[in-house]
Structure 1
Amino acid sequence: MAAALLSKSPRLVICAILCVFLFSEVGVLRQAAALGINYGQVGNNLPPPPQVVQLLSSLRIGKVRIYDVNPQVLSAFAGTGIELIVTVPDDLVPGMAASASQALQWLTAGVRPYFPATRVTGIAVGNEVFTGDDEQLKASLVPAMRNLHAALAQLGMDAYVRVSTANSLAVLATSYPPSQGVFTQAAAPYMAQLLRFLVDTSAPFWINAYPYFAYKDDPTKVSLDYALSNPSHVGAVDPYTHLQYTSMLYAQVDAVTFAAARLGYGNVPVHVSETGWPSKGDANEAGATVENARQYNRNLLMRQISGEGTPLRPKLRLEVYLFALFNEDMKPGPTSERNYGLYQPDMSMVYNVGLNQQATMSAASLSLATSPASRRDVRKDFAGLCLVTSLAILLITQALLL
């Protein structure tokens, strides 16, 4: 019967092809909404920024975090639509705290010339400051952030750019069970100031969370399946909330949320500014293998595709930035530090987690990867799907009537 219909109406064939194309494009756009990834540059053999941007664009990666305001990088991202988080290095933080004009000068010289062609949406002030040893830097962080936000307002950019800071998970004194999450005594006073600023400016709390470290430090007691977020793993149940956790990362995020709630800021969104797993390590670095790295990132991407939130916030997809885009050969420390990349510097894959690079935009796809999306994004996708479905039905009906 289908063959007869097709023989009578060649236009039906065209309509069928068009419908397949339209449906596939909706799927691509949905999946490629904006995978977050960290683009570090601590290497002497990395490709030039225009090639990196071409790679990211071909993968439809829509969110990128960098660790400076490199002019070549900012210029390369112009016109791509990729959202970019830039970073204020630690050594500039005290000056920005002491002088509003220094914050304005940094923003005017380092960011404003590229905006809005380069879609800067976030500024990370310092990195893991509250778990360091520099007390002056800790005291300066939130005042610097306030001065920077005031400078954004002065330039008319505050509605587009959020200011936050990436924190180490070590700001928590307790992370398990998640409901018992609490900040350390040393960090708590600073955290109260930070959380107040984030509420005032509608900015997220950023956490660098690595289940790999927990497994490496105690591989005999920490479940590898739990650390890798394997969905088949039974996981653990919080005895106080009775929420079940099959992913250590998601448990860590909820622990931060509970810790913030203890200070009166339970509604602040918690985003993962870094997470990853090394594909290679030293003899004493348990679990640092290609297979574990592939499995960790693949599991995480699968959870992103499904729109999964944490057990505490199940309807809000967790926003995550993978670490990292490239292996960086000049990073100090153990071997693992130089082997977090999804790609080698020659842009070949270290391992495949489901990212498919295509030559043309219409064919570009992510077979397994997508970025965090809000419920509003989901509604937009559903509306778009309904529109495409209606168009497809109309085309087929017209073809059958001809």
Structure 2
Amino acid sequence: MRDSRSPLFFWCLVFFSLSHHGPLKVEAFTGTYGINYGRIADNLPPPESVVTLLKLAKIRNVRIYDADHSVLNAFKGSGLELIVAIGNEYLKDISVYEDHAMSWIKENVQPFLPDTHITGIAIGNEVLGGTDEELAGALLGAAKNVYNALDRLKLAGDIEVSTPHSAAVFANSFPPSSCIFREDVLVYMRPILDFFSKIGSPFYINAYPFLAYKSDPEHIDINYALFRSNAGIHDAKTGLHYDNMFDAQIDAAYAALEAAGYDKMEVRVSETGWASGGDENEAGATLQNARTYNFNLRKRLFKKKGTPRRPKMVVKAYVFALFNEDLKPGPSSEKHYGLFKADGSISYNIGLHGLKPSSASPSLLSLTRIRTRSCLGPSAMVLTCYVMVILALMI
């Protein structure tokens, strides 16, 4: 029997779906927990070992700050989901020449698909809120040219285009409901938000309770910053109560988006973490505080819940960072955000397993044993698995 539904009926359904639900979103994040894999160091394990480490830690979502081919090759066939980045130094050029955006994608993304699961491209890092107005003015053009190039290659439906922001884009953030974008930032931010709302990209924010506490330790309760029991804060305007600063920072971003007219956009955390060491004037930068924050953050994210302002919008976050990075410039804290040390052992115990033994916790396998495990016979493999189970029970 001939289907009586006409093509017009089909396209009406498509239009109805788009008009009521907005643009189709690229799903660039599985679950709620991810990590930033920075490599400003001269002593890190090779990318192939990092893939093994990530699998041991059961961390699937990963961000890098470039598109290094050794990393992209190492991630082939791993099942890990990767966001690559275009550095700030390339944005002005790519914003002017769409063919340069196309060339970048053809060199750094397309050849690695689909074996390397590249789910997103970050356009720069913390561009807005700084002092370089020319760079700020190039951000939108770069994002559009990258997206248009992806679209021409029929990859726009699979790869998310986004850009991460720092808290410097806000005029204020306390209480959360009062947060708005800085006026000088809004002139650049509004057209970017308009474009991202059309293509379905989230608003990425780097949220650091550590930095807030470090800047004002006399007036911020460290328990509030570390997810520990505390009196919390009450937002009189909304009547909402916050028992941790992480949720408050996310809701501050939601408030700023609402004030700018983008109340449907998702807020996603591109970076958050706590330094395990720092200079004498860096309050709170201790190993114990870093362990407490990252343990409680992981527990909070695994609950798959929203914030007081957006209870149905599950929070997703990338932790900063995978490794301590010994060549990072700036204060000493910048070198001490890693959940793992450069040798692949854990920095402190939050329930993750490293590549080799450490003073923080027994490990499962050393780097050498991981590289040679394929040479083990069946009996040796059974013994190894038995030892792994015993060690895991001891943690």
Give the TM-score range, shorter chain: 0.7 to 0.9
Show the counterpart of 2:264.
267
Question: Residues of 1 paired with 2:148 and 2:245: CA distance?
Answer: 37
- Quote the offset at 1:352 in angstroms: 1.0
Question: Residues of 2 paired with 1:306 and 1:224: CA distance?
Answer: 22
Question: Residues of 2 paired with 1:300 and 1:161: CA distance?
Answer: 27
Determine whether 1:127 maps to 2:117: no
Identity %: 46
1:25-40 counterparts in 2 under 5 A? Answer: 33=31, 35-40=33-38
Show the counterpart of 1:311.
308
CA contact (8 A) 1:34 1:60 kept: no
Q: Secondary structure at the match of 1:220?
A: coil
Aligned match of 1:241 in 231, 238, 242?
Answer: 238
For residue 210 of structure 1, what is the amino acid of its counterpart? Answer: Y
The CA deviation string for residues 174-218 of structure 1, in whole angstroms up to 9 with x for no partner, is 101111110011111111111111111111111111111111111
Show the counterpart of 2:16.
none
Show the counterpart of 1:321.
318
For residue 55 of structure 2, what is the amino acid of its counterpart? Answer: S
Aligned match of 1:205 in 182, 203, 206?
Answer: 203
- Quote the offset at 1:356 in angstroms: 3.9
The CA deviation string for residues 214-262 of structure 1, in whole angstroms up to 9 with x for no partner, is 11111111110111122x2221111011111111111111111111111
1:78-227 counterparts in 2 under 5 A? Answer: 78-227=76-225
Comparing 321-330 with 214-223, which one deviates more in the overlay? 214-223
Show the counterpart of 1:294.
291
> Compared with structure 1, are the counterparts of its residues 256 and 33 closer, same or farther at alpha carbon in structure 2 (3 Å cutoff)?
closer
Q: Secondary structure at the match of 1:322?
A: strand
* TM-score in terms of structure 1 length: 0.80
Show the counterpart of 1:380.
none
Question: Residues of 1 paired with 2:294 and 2:337: CA distance?
Answer: 11
CA contact (8 A) 1:279 1:292 kept: yes
Unaligned runs of 5+ in 2: 1-29, 355-363, 366-380
Show the counterpart of 1:331.
328
Determine whether 1:354 maps to 2:354: no
Question: Residues of 2 paired with 1:34 and 1:288: CA distance?
Answer: 26
Question: Residues of 1 paired with 2:34 and 2:156: CA distance?
Answer: 22
- Quote the offset at 1:147 in angstroms: 0.6
Show the counterpart of 1:395.
none
- Quote the offset at 1:34 in angstroms: 5.9
- Quote the offset at 1:143 in angstroms: 1.0
CA contact (8 A) 2:60 2:80 kept: yes
Question: Residues of 2 paired with 1:42 and 1:333: CA distance?
Answer: 12
Q: Secondary structure at the match of 1:229?
A: coil
The CA deviation string for residues 260-305 of structure 1, in whole angstroms up to 9 with x for no partner, is 1111101100000000000001111110000100011111111112
Determine whether 1:278 maps to 2:275: yes
For residue 243 of structure 2, what is the amino acid of its counterpart? Answer: T
CA contact (8 A) 2:32 2:302 kept: no
Unaligned runs of 5+ in 1: 1-31, 368-402
CA contact (8 A) 2:130 2:168 kept: no
CA contact (8 A) 1:121 1:161 kept: yes
* TM-score in terms of structure 2 length: 0.82
How many aligned residue pairs are there?
Answer: 333
CA contact (8 A) 1:34 1:61 kept: no
- Quote the offset at 1:84 in angstroms: 0.5
Question: Residues of 2 paired with 1:334 and 1:255: CA distance?
Answer: 27
The CA deviation string for residues 301-334 of structure 1, in whole angstroms up to 9 with x for no partner, is 1111212211111122211000000000000111
